[in-house]
Chain A
Amino acid sequence: MSPHIILRVVSKLLIPMIVIFGFYVQFHGDFGPGGGFQAGVIIAVAVILYALIFGIDEAKKAVPPKLVQWGSAAGVLLYAAVGLATLVMPFAGEAVNFLDYDALHPDQSHHAGQHYGILLVELGVLITVTSVMLAIFYAFAGRVPDIPDEEW
């Protein structure tokens, strides 16, 4: 029987909600406070909470360090890819600037291109921030000697 049964049960209930809240913050960022930076940190906190309660090895099984390494690069690349896509997609017959999202969608009356562009770059920010925070946490936590149970 684990000594931290209440912590384990409560955090098992809380962690999915934290992740869902993170995604809400991400995708509601156009309409209320929020965005990729905040959502990325919140989702990273969910994994960090998991690691604090169940141990760093369990967390590394759930979110492998390899994934974190790839993720921190993938977010930056997604952001850059959106910028490059706007460069190659001509808008109204002429080429537009790096990260000028109007080129992404022809519907100008509702600025759909801007909405798609913001969604995509915020997704890139989310992936990078989550992965970077987790990478930093793994790097520090990988060195911590396990805390003995008496110190709780």
Chain B
Amino acid sequence: MSGADLTQFLDYTLIAMLLAVGFAIVRLRNLFAVVMLTGVYSLLSAAWFVSLDAVDVAFTEAAVGAGISTVLMLGAMLLTAREAEAPGRGRHLAAMLVVTVAGMALFFAIPDMPVYGAADSPANSYVGASYLERTPNEIEIPNVVTAVLASYRGYDTFGEVVVIFTAALGVILLLGFNTGGARRREDEE
């Protein structure tokens, strides 16, 4: 029992840190700090994913969110700007209005959501449970996430692979590989 309590305190700590980092991102205007804090945010959410039993997701989030996307954002930041302008007053008020209304609507929806950690909630009862039952007999590999990803939902994953291929195509079309050194010198002027 004490173990369960300890992990709960870990959860609360991680939630508090996530909120603090999120608010810091809103307040800061130095883009370098904002990008680094985004990496921190990803790493913290990866830690919470581990505590939520989603080890595969945590792994991906730590590698992608804290690694690759931070590098990409730093690269893009170096090419564009170092500081963000502070939002104007009208814009701040409009954003606060939208955020408050949307947040209230979501808060009102909370009682309809499944209870946190319930094994018999609708979300956890049918498809997920059936994958857990069928994997040992039909695929015979221990990691159910891999089994669902590559076999049961292989068609979905194929779609995802095509999407990231298309994204690379888009980036190459927009930026080019710049194999020669000519364009770099052009940009510097």
Contacts and interface: CB of A to CB of B under 8 A. Distances in A.
Chain A directly contacts chain B within the complex, with at least one CB pair under 8 Å: yes
B179 A65 contact: yes
Contacts of A42: 63
B146 interface: yes
A118 B162 CA distance: 17
Interface in A107-130: 110-111, 114-115, 117-118, 121-122, 124-125, 128-129
B99 interface: no
Interface string A63-77: 001000100110110
Contacts of B164: 128-129, 132
B184 to A, nearest CB: 7
A143 B172 CA distance: 12
A140 B75 contact: yes
Given A37-B60, A76-B165, A31 B187 contact: no
Contacts of B150: 35-36, 117-118, 121-122
Given A38-B63, A44-B68, A45-B63, A33 B165 contact: no
Interface of A is mostly: helix
Interface in B52-101: 55-56, 58-60, 63-64, 67-68, 71-72, 75-76, 78-79
Given A35-B149, A142-B177, A75 B161 contact: yes
B127 interface: no
A25 B58 CA distance: 14
A33 B138 contact: no
Contacts of B16: none
Contacts of B20: none
A139 B170 CA distance: 11
Contacts of B68: 41, 44-45, 48, 133, 137
Interface string B143-165: 10111011100110110011011
B176 A33 contact: no
Interface in A9-39: 25, 29-38
A141 interface: yes
A50 interface: no
Contacts of A117: 150-151, 154
Nearest to A102: B138
A136 to B, nearest CB: 5
B143 A32 contact: yes
A143 B186 CA distance: 10
Given A139-B175, A142-B176, A143-B79, A41 B63 contact: yes
B168 A143 contact: no
21 contacts: A30-B141, A30-B142, A33-B56, A33-B59, A35-B149, A38-B59, A45-B63, A48-B71, A76-B161, A76-B165, A80-B158, A99-B154, A114-B141, A122-B150, A131-B168, A133-B68, A140-B75, A142-B175, A142-B176, A143-B178, A143-B184
Interface of A: 25, 29-38, 41-42, 44-45, 48, 60, 65, 69, 72-73, 75-76, 79-80, 83, 98-99, 101, 110-111, 114-115, 117-118, 121-122, 124-125, 128-129, 131-133, 135-145, 147
